[in-house]
């Protein structure tokens, strides 16, 4: 969805599974909410992107974060970003295969905005992405 400046909303996907990246990218392309999707494949890249060590990197309006990542896992990325007041306002949606109660509780204790278990197929993924887009990029006003 274009923001009030008329630009596409920036979404950062932090995912290392190429198949999931393709499904999520295609799901956003099919959704009614056009976004500018950036993808990084490990936790270190995610932290650098958000902290804008590359001055050309835009500030994301929404982060979709997997738990099981190389270098720094999703819990470490979440703790790093939500522990910094500068990034506390960026919604982070955990999008992962883990159904473990301890993972869910830990993510919410670190201020994740949502915890969603990834569907196994494209139709399920497309539905989840549409729901995320409707909620976080349509219904909810972002900073």
3-class DSSP state for residue 93? strand
Could you read off the pLDDT of 37-96 as tens digits, one per residue?
999 999 999 999 999 988 888 999 999 999 999 999 999 999 999 999 999 999 999 999
User: Is 28 in contact with 133 (CB distance < 8 Å)?
Assistant: yes
Of 38, 32, 43, 79, give the one whose Cα is nearest residue 61: 38
Residues 54 and 48 sit within 8 Å (Cβ to Cβ): yes
CATH class for the region spanning 9-139: alpha beta
Is 0.85 topped by the overall pTM?
yes
Task: Tell me the average pLDDT across 3-18.
Answer: 79
Tell me which H or E stretch contains 47: helix 43-50
The ranges assigned to domains in the chain are 9-139
For residue range 96-117, list pLDDT tens digits in order: 999 999 999 999 999 999 999 9
The label of the residue with tokens 């890249």 reads 45
Instruction: Give residue for tokens 């902290």.
Output: 51
Residue 83 carries which DSSP code?
T
Distance CA 91, CA 132 (A): 11
């Amino acid at each position: 969805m274009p923001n009030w400046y008329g630009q596409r909303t920036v979404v950062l996907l932090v995912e290392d599974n190429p198949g999931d990246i393709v499904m999520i990218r295609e799901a956003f392309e099919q959704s009614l909410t056009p976004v500018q999707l950036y993808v990084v494949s490990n936790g270190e890249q995610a932290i650098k992107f958000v902290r804008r060590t590359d001055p050309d990197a835009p500030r994301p309006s929404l982060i979709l974060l997997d738990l099981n990542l190389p270098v720094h896992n999703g819990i470490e990325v979440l703790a790093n970003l939500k522990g910094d007041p500068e990034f506390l306002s960026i919604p982070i949606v955990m999008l992962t295969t883990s159904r473990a109660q301890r993972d869910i509780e830990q993510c919410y204790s670190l201020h994740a905005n949502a915890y969603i278990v990834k569907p196994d197929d494209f139709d399920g993924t497309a539905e989840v992405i549409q729901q995320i887009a409707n909620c976080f990029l349509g219904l909810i006003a972002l900073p």
